[in-house]
Amino acid sequence: MSTSTPPAVRLLESAIDAGTVPGGIIAHGHDPEPVARGRVAPGAATSPAFPLDAIVRIQSMTKAIQAVAALRLVERGVLALDSPVAPWLPELAAPRVLPSPDADLDRAVPSPTEITLRHLLTCTSGLGIATAEGPLQRAMAQAGLEAGSAPWSLAADEWLAALGALPLAGEPGRVWRYHHSFSVLGILLSRVTGSPLDAHLRADLLEPLGMVDTGSFVPAAQHHRLPPAFTVEDGELVEVEAAGGGPLVGPPSGDVSHGELVSTAADYLCFLRALRDGELLSTDHLAMMTTDQVPSSVKQPDSF
């Protein structure tokens, strides 16, 4: 290990000691291999050590892979950053926008701005997590659109139709809301390429990079490599999904282009190294991707 890795390992170990996480893996860009610490279950000496080859739910780390996939299509002339996405996503054509995020839904008016790819990539589409209780938050919960650690219960097209039926929290480009823009981006990539997101990512990025354990699900034959999932209740870790089980094992029953990926530390390190070394994007787009693109005026304190 390099001399710069121990602080990161100590940070992980402190989180394990505090009971924040049962275990985890540190993947450092200048070291040849990831490093694992802790166990797959909290507070149990008999629990297996956290394995280096664990296939884990990478959740929002999916966003970087999606962003690269989108920018590669921009470089090929298939997409444009500032063109509306409605030609591929008619569910989002002619969006309506609330005068304020907590306003009654019947106060929505036509948005003067259409949603673009840039809005999706910067989470400024007006779509996203409703952080404050109100009419929009309640409508999203009722429609099965609230974000959580579990996969979406609706298939991609059904999910987008439900999302498009609700107004935006704010005008695109003028509000920042986390999460949902990238679920929409996954569906956009699927429709533009004519393939489910998983298939497009596999052909364009994952297989060329040798990321054999990354995808939208864990193959049934590899289910034993999926650790359990936990949530926090009353300050304690509570298991919500058993090791080797749950909806991410085996091929999904419907289109999950709006979902998140599973991967390994080694696979994700391959992706990050290729991105860092300029193998995936042009210099301009790599610089754009690694620079804050959200204006300070859009970063509301209550947006996440």
Going from N- to C-terminal start, the domains of the chain cover 55-214+254-304
Round to whole Å and give the CA distance between 117 and 123: 10
Q: Give residue 29's pLDDT.
A: 74
Residues whose CB is less than 8 angstroms from the CB of residue 287 and which lie 6 or more positions away in sequence, other chains included: none
Residues in the chain: 304
pLDDT at 28: 78
**Which fold would CATH assign to domain 55-214+254-304?**
Beta-lactamase (3.40.710)
Residue 146, number of CB atoms within 10 A of its CB: 15
Q: Based on the number of CB atoms within 10 Å of its own CB, is 291 exposed (0-12), middle (13-18) or buried (19 or more)? A: exposed
Query: What is the model's pLDDT at position 304?
Result: 56
| Averaged pLDDT of the chain | 91
Sign of the Cα pseudo-torsion (126, 132, 135, 141, in order): positive
Q: pLDDT tens for residues 26-64?
A: 887 776 678 888 888 776 666 788 899 999 999 999 999
Question: Which residue has tokens 């040798």?
Answer: 210
Q: What is the pLDDT of residue 30?
A: 74
Tokens of 27: 């993947």
Each residue's pLDDT tens digit, 61-95: 999 999 999 999 999 999 999 999 999 999 999 99
- Given this model, what pLDDT does residue 1 score? 43
Q: How many CA atoms lie within 13 A of 81 on its CB side?
A: 14
Q: pLDDT below 70 — which residues of the chain?
A: 1-6, 31-32, 43-46, 149, 301-304
What per-residue string of b and e applies to 197-219 under the rule 16 or more CB within 10 Å gives b? bbbbbbebbbeebebebbbbbbe
Residues 6 or more apart whose CB falls under 8 angstroms from that of 41 comprise: 22, 47, 228, 239
Q: Is 38 left (phi over 0), alpha (psi -120 to 50) or beta?
A: left
Q: Please identify every residue annotated as catalytic.
A: 60
pLDDT at 236: 87
Task: Answer for the pair 213, 55: CB distance below 8 angstroms, yes or no.
Answer: yes
